[in-house]
């Protein structure tokens, strides 16, 4: 991205010139670090960074965030050039507010200095590690939750080379922390995985066993917690327009700007032996058990989001809001919510799943949030289990037919075949893309054959689902409709 000639850049020196309502609540150079965060993407900047800034401002404490970019240098360079400051523009249908966030006390780039990250994790000042690294970075089998056999992770755990993977960084960091007996710490996953804390714990335990680190494992048992958490805010990837909106509001250029919807939620299990920021002062819900919140959000919001992404992409729609506006789409999704999702689990006390679903649909309809269908469609193999397949399994166990949820699986299968209904190529960004392409290349294009072949990707589809002939027939019927009539006509007919 190029600088606009003559316009000053956001930085500590620019704070005094910002409109008062846009100034940060705390300053990066005045807070001390207590958190390491892995994953400096737009979501972190518009979510945990916002909560943490408000928590420090309201409740104090040394909880500045050391933001670590695992691989890409882009956002790291841009933040460094801005003294770690960036803005969040909150986009309502009719209002827009831009505020600079000062919660990042430091920024680091793991790939160019992994040893520094390992040392940070062993630093007694750091008492919380938060993660937004996307589902695939955990290297867990989505069906079993077991650590995958991956050469890079194995090399990180069994050799002295500087770690390259997220599991490698975490486990080598915990080994160093155990060796230094540097005090208790919490690893808090903020990714959209089911039981994300329990999975992170499983990953660490498996990694320590693999690294044959017996003493460290018992230190970890005594000193490290892995609470589950549910995170929620729609934060599309930033575009040149996002940066232009921020610059207009701030009067200075901000190349790390993000834009997000007004809605924001964080539910966190309160197990922090080394302490934590007063996140509840910023509106987070601290609880004993985040499980029901997590199911509510993953199955309803993310499940419906994936439905909109695949069906919308097939119909040639660019954004989630445009996909939702297709004739019959809203009615179809309401059935998915009421007949399948709401029947598949117990919601948190006092929450109605259909009421929550109505709110989710209203959020997706926000016309100024330009969330691309292709962005949400990415990494389908990592997302489908918790978003849709668990709903199907629970409905089937209770005797239901999961008709609407099987439509989403069929839409993913058609999307995975690589072309929209008008023949335009669709990108298959997925860690299993090669496997999917190989499977499809060897398969006749009839829907029944495609369903059969893709269901055999056993790290995505649980055995109970593959063995269920009614589910298979339902996916095949939908895929037949999608293939013959296209997504627009299929959704229109379904919504009638």
Contact in structure between 455 and 466 (CB atoms under 8 Å)? yes
State how far the alpha carbon of 472 is from the alpha carbons of 144, 198, 386, 405, 466, in Å: 21, 31, 19, 12, 7
Helix (H, G, I), strand (E, B) or coil at 98: strand
Closest CB to ligand CS2 among residues 52, 483: 52
State the minimum distance, in angstroms, from the CB of residue 379 to ligand CS2. Answer: 8
State the minimum distance, in angstroms, from the CB of residue 375 to ligand CS2. Answer: 6
Closest CB to ligand CS2 among residues 232, 481: 232
**How many residues form the binding site for ligand CS2 (CB under 6 A)?**
9
State the minimum distance, in angstroms, from the CB of residue 133 to ligand CS2. Answer: 13
Q: Which of 10, 234, 296, 451 lies at the binding interface for ligand CS2 (CB under 6 A)?
A: 234
Region binding ligand CS2 by CB under 6 A among candidate stretches 68-76, 229-237, 336-344, 457-465: 229-237
State the minimum distance, in angstroms, from the CB of residue 398 to ligand CS2. Answer: 26
Cβ neighbours for 283, distance < 8 A, ≥ 6 positions apart: 51, 54, 264, 266
Considering only CA atoms, give the Rg of the chain: 23
Q: Output the DSSP codes for 106-147.
A: EEEETTT-HHHHHHHHT-TT--EEEE---GGGG-B-TTT-PB
Give the integer Cα–Cα distance in Å for 55 and 152. Answer: 37
State the minimum distance, in angstroms, from the CB of residue 320 to ligand CS2. Answer: 9
State how far the alpha carbon of 103 is from the alpha carbons of 18, 24, 65, 129, 220, in Å: 17, 8, 6, 14, 28
Tokens read off for 200:
């992170």
Closest CB to ligand CS2 among residues 82, 302: 302
Does the footprint of ligand CS2 cover residue 340 (CB under 6 A)? Answer: no
Closest CB to ligand CS2 among residues 157, 436: 436
Binding mask 35-74 for ligand CS2 (x = CB under 6 A): ----------------------------------------
Tokens read off for 79:
């933040």
Tokens read off for 449:
């054959």
Region binding ligand CS2 by CB under 6 A among candidate stretches 227-235, 338-346, 419-427, 449-457: 227-235
Closest CB to ligand CS2 among residues 24, 41: 41
Give the integer Cα–Cα distance in Å for 203 and 358. Answer: 35
- Triad 290, 294, 295: Cα angle to 5°: 125
Does the footprint of ligand CS2 cover residue 232 (CB under 6 A)? Answer: yes
Closest CB to ligand CS2 among residues 170, 376: 376
Closest CB to ligand CS2 among residues 192, 476: 192
CA 153 to chain centre: 21
Does the footprint of ligand CS2 cover residue 192 (CB under 6 A)? Answer: yes
State the minimum distance, in angstroms, from the CB of residue 458 to ligand CS2. Answer: 23
**Strand 285-287's sheet: what is its strand order?**
229-232, 265-269, 285-287
Tokens read off for 59:
């409740």
Closest CB to ligand CS2 among residues 193, 250: 193
End-to-end CA distance of the chain: 47
Q: Which of 26, 170, 376, 413 lies at the binding interface for ligand CS2 (CB under 6 A)?
A: 376
Closest CB to ligand CS2 among residues 172, 305: 305
Does the footprint of ligand CS2 cover residue 426 (CB under 6 A)? Answer: no
Closest CB to ligand CS2 among residues 219, 266: 266
Closest CB to ligand CS2 among residues 242, 302: 302
Does the footprint of ligand CS2 cover residue 305 (CB under 6 A)? Answer: yes
Neighbours of 202 (CB within 10 A): 18
Tokens read off for 94:
């009719």
Region binding ligand CS2 by CB under 6 A among candidate stretches 63-71, 226-234, 279-287, 419-427: 226-234
Binding mask 243-282 for ligand CS2 (x = CB under 6 A): ----------------------------------------
Q: Could you tell me whether strands 265-269 and 258-260 are parallel, antiparallel, or unpaired per DSSP bridges? A: unpaired
Helix, strand, coil share (%) of the chain residues, nearest 5: 50, 15, 35
State the minimum distance, in angstroms, from the CB of residue 252 to ligand CS2. Answer: 28
Q: Which of 233, 295, 390, 395 lies at the binding interface for ligand CS2 (CB under 6 A)?
A: 233
Q: Could you tell me whether strands 96-101 and 86-91 are parallel, antiparallel, or unpaired per DSSP bridges? A: antiparallel
In the complex, the residues that contact ligand CS2 under the rule CB under 6 A are 192, 232-234, 302, 305, 375-376, 383
């Amino acid at each position: 991205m190029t600088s606009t000639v003559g316009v000053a850049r956001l930085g500590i020196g620019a704070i005094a010139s910002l409109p008062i309502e846009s100034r940060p609540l705390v300053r990066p150079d005045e807070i001390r670090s207590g958190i390491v965060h892995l994953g400096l993407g737009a979501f972190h900047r518009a979510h945990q960074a916002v909560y943490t800034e408000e928590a420090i401002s309201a409740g104090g404490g040394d909880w500045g965030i050391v933001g670590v970019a695992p691989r890409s240098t882009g956002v790291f360079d841009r933040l460094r050039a801005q003294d770690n400051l960036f803005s969040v523009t909150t986009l309502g249908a009719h209002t827009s507010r831009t505020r600079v966030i000062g919660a990042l006390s430091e920024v680091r780039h793991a790939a160019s200095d992994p040893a520094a990250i390992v040392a940070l994790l062993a630093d007694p000042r750091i008492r919380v590690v938060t993660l937004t690294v996307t589902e695939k970075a955990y290297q867990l089998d989505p069906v079993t939750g077991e650590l995958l056999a991956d050469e890079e992770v194995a090399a990180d755990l069994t050799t002295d080379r500087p770690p390259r993977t997220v599991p490698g960084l975490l486990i080598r960091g915990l080994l160093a922390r155990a060796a230094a007996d540097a005090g208790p710490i919490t690893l808090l996953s903020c990714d959209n995985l089911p039981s994300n804390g329990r999975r992170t714990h499983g990953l660490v335990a498996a990694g320590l066993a693999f690294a044959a680190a017996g003493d460290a494992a018992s230190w970890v048992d005594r000193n490290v917690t892995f609470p589950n958490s549910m995170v929620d805010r729609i934060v599309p990837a930033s575009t040149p327009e996002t940066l232009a909106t921020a610059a207009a509001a701030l009067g200075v250029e901000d190349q790390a700007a993000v834009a997000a919807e007004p809605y924001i939620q964080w539910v966190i299990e309160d197990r922090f032996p080394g302490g934590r920021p007063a996140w509840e002062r910023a509106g987070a819900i601290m609880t004993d058990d985040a499980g029901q919140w997590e199911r509510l959000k993953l199955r309803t919001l993310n499940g419906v989001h994936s439905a909109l992404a695949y069906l919308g992409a097939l119909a040639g729609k660019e954004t989630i809001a445009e996909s939702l506006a297709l004739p019959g789409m809203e009615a179809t999704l309401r059935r998915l919510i009421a007949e399948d999702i709401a029947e598949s689990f117990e919601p948190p006390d006092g929450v109605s799943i259909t009421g929550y679903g109505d709110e989710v649909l209203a959020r997706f309809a926000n016309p100024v949030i330009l969330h691309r269908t292709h962005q949400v469609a990415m990494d389908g193999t990592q997302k489908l289990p918790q978003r849709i397949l668990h709903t199907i399994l629970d409905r089937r166990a209770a005797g239901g037919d999961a008709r609407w949820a099987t439509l989403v699986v069929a839409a993913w299968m058609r999307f995975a075949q690589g072309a929209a209904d008008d023949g335009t190529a669709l990108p298959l960004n997925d860690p299993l893309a090669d496997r999917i392409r190989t499977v499809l290349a060897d398969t006749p294009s009839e829907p029944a054959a495609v369903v059969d072949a893709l269901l055999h990707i056993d790290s995505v589809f649980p055995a109970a689902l593959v063995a269920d002939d009614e589910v298979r027939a339902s996916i095949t019927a939908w895929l037949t409709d999608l293939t013959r009539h296209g997504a627009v006509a299929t959704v229109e007919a379904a919504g009638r």
